[in-house]
Amino acid sequence: MISLTFQEIDNQLMKDNKPSDYIIELSNTGIFETEYPFTLLGTLKNTPQSPKHHPEGSVWNHTLMVLDNAAERKHNSKSPQVFMWAALLHDLGKAPTTRIRKGRITSYDHDLEGEMLASQFLSELTQDAQFIQQVAKMVRWHMQILFVVKGLPFANVKKMAAEVSIEEIALLGLCDRLGRGEMNQEKKQEEEQTIEKFLIRCREILQ
């Protein structure tokens, strides 16, 4: 039996200015090591990331930083509840996909894997199928900022736009990119400019 309800977590995600404090408090209970589906988040503690792109360390550390950035910006979201849960679950797919290839830490297709895992996670806590799908699709498409801006073959703006709001993905993507160590004002501005490029390019494609 799950000891923690959807409503308990949701209340903190929606009300807290710094929800990472709540998640860390939960972590001290051991729930992320012992109780499914929370173990899906717990595995992120031992999931490494490229030091070059993620000086903050593990995916767990990154997730906490993204969550706090999302809390600061949730008032800009059309669906704050979906947005906050997507921030919490956006990198679930990194645990099973992370590999060391030629000395580099990679997590190819973690967005695709994450869509499935986010759906599984939420299905244990709520029966709201529409909500589950909306969060899972945000997770599915959160890497498109990188793909679109860099012109990579994995970009698929039309399919993305058919499933999610590009503005919501842009907002989540900004939090994702800001949720890293050593983020000074200049780097923040660069990330904001990247998001703007993403939106411009998407709108050009969708015209």
User: What percentage of residues in the chain have a pLDDT greater than 90?
Assistant: 93
Beta bridge partners of 142: none
User: Does residue 1 surpass a pLDDT of 80?
Assistant: no
User: Does residue 169 surpass a pLDDT of 90?
Assistant: yes
Residue type, 143: M
- pLDDT at position 52 is 85
- pLDDT at position 20 is 98
Residues 155-184 as b/e (b if ≥16 CB within 10 A, e otherwise) read bebeebbeebbbebbbbbbbbbbbbbeebe
What's the pLDDT tens digit per position in 60-111? Answer: 999 999 999 999 999 999 999 999 999 999 999 999 999 999 889 999 999 9
Give the side-chain half-sphere CA count within 13 A for 102: 0
148: which DSSP letter?
H
**Distances from the Cα of 113 to the Cαs of 80, 98, 206, in angstroms?**
23, 11, 26
C-alpha span between 135 and 15 (Å, rounded): 18
> Top-level CATH class of 6-206?
mainly alpha
Residues 108-129 as b/e (b if ≥16 CB within 10 A, e otherwise) read eebbebbbebbbebbeebeeee
